Amino acid sequence: MSIVLFRIDERLIHGQVVIGWGHELRPDRYIVVDDELAASEWEQELYRLGAGEAEVVFCTVDEARERVAEWRTESPRSILLTADVSSMERLARDGTLSGEAVNLGGLHAGPGRSEVLTYLYLTQEDRDDLGSLVAQGVRVSARDLPDTARVDLESLLKP
């Protein structure tokens, strides 16, 4: 499998991903799945600056759904990123990500969000979408950096 990490992180390409996860996983490519960003070339350029030597691909959720199988078999080691739980849930529909593991990274405080971990704040919609991911056969856990403990979804969502 050449997609070495599926991650939800509102900051997308940033220090924790490039330095923390990048040093551990050595990606050749970042795949950013975001409907709005896929249409904004100037914003894409900003993210490319942070990716170092790695290739960066931007696409919509629908485009990514069509290409996930291809990316899994290609040789570049890739990290696939979405900025929100909803986009990853839409990507996973119809079993597209069945059997995969999704990492919850930084989702920070905001309106309607409640703290689950110091780096993870979720809305009720996020919680529902995470449940949908699990129902689609996706393993979900939170982990901000590769050297920190993984927290499984069941523990995260306990009342």
- Residue 94 CA to residue 126 CA, distance in Å, equals 19
Q: Is the pLDDT of residue 1 over 60?
A: no
pLDDT at 156: 84
Say which residue, 85 or 155, is predicted with more confidence: 85
Close Cβ partners of 147 (under 8 Å, ≥ 6 residues apart): 20, 24
- Residue 137 CA to residue 92 CA, distance in Å, equals 9
Of the chain, the percentage scoring pLDDT greater than 90 comes to 83
Say which residue, 5 or 49, is predicted with more confidence: 5
Render pLDDT for 59-107 as a digit per residue (tens, 0 to 9).
999 999 999 999 999 989 999 999 999 999 999 999 999 999 999 999 9
Mean pLDDT of the 19-44 span: 94
pLDDT at 159: 66
Mean pLDDT of the 11-29 span: 90
- Residue 84 CA to residue 23 CA, distance in Å, equals 23
Q: How many CB atoms within 10 Å of residue 115? A: 11
pLDDT at 17: 85
Mean pLDDT of the 95-120 span: 94
pLDDT at 113: 94
Which CATH fold would you assign to the domain 3-141?
Answer: Fructose Permease (3.40.35)
